[in-house]
Amino acid sequence: MTHAKAITLLLVDDSRVARLSLMRQLAALGAEFDILQAASADEAQAIMEGRQADVALIDFNMPGRDGLTLAAEFCDSHPNMKMALVTANIQRPVVERAQALGMAFMGKPTNPDELARFLGVAP
């Protein structure tokens, strides 16, 4: 029996509770994830130096640089990483900026089916 390669996922959110909630949803999807966690844009960039991730789930409102600024930097440094902005800040300008960067947009709390579709895994 062959096993699918684990999906390397970067989870960036300053809220530990939000990260834990997303990790519970990811665990329930039944896919294998190698999860890298960061509480800020600076921490995320440090983690990603010399590493690759398949996908990133990035919060918008964080201390320091916001999630869209981080995503724009990742567009240059990690162009093959699939990204979604996961935020409670559901304002049209935020959604449009995310879409302009080629990001998916998910409101908080995340919907498990929407998360599964974005990640390309069966719920």
pLDDT along the chain (123 residues), means of 10: 74 94 91 94 94 95 93 94 92 91 92 91 71
pTM: 0.92
DSSP string for 1-50: ---PPPEEEEEE-S-HHHHHHHHHHHHHTT--EEEEEESSHHHHHHHHTT
What residues pair up with 105 in beta bridges, in sequence order? Answer: 85
Please tell me the predicted confidence (pLDDT) of residue 33.
93
The Cα-based distances of 29 to 22, 24, 69, 88, 104 in angstroms read: 11, 9, 29, 22, 19
The answer to whether 8 and 17 are in contact (CB under 8 A) is no
Please tell me the predicted confidence (pLDDT) of residue 11.
97
Please tell me the predicted confidence (pLDDT) of residue 4.
62
Please tell me the predicted confidence (pLDDT) of residue 2.
43
Please tell me the predicted confidence (pLDDT) of residue 123.
59
Please tell me the predicted confidence (pLDDT) of residue 1.
39
How many angstroms separate the CA atoms of 119 and 104, rounded?
A: 11
Maximum distance among all Cα pairs of the chain, rounded to whole angstroms? 47
The answer to whether 39 and 13 are in contact (CB under 8 A) is yes
Query: What are the structural domains of the chain?
Result: 7-119 (3.40.50.2300)
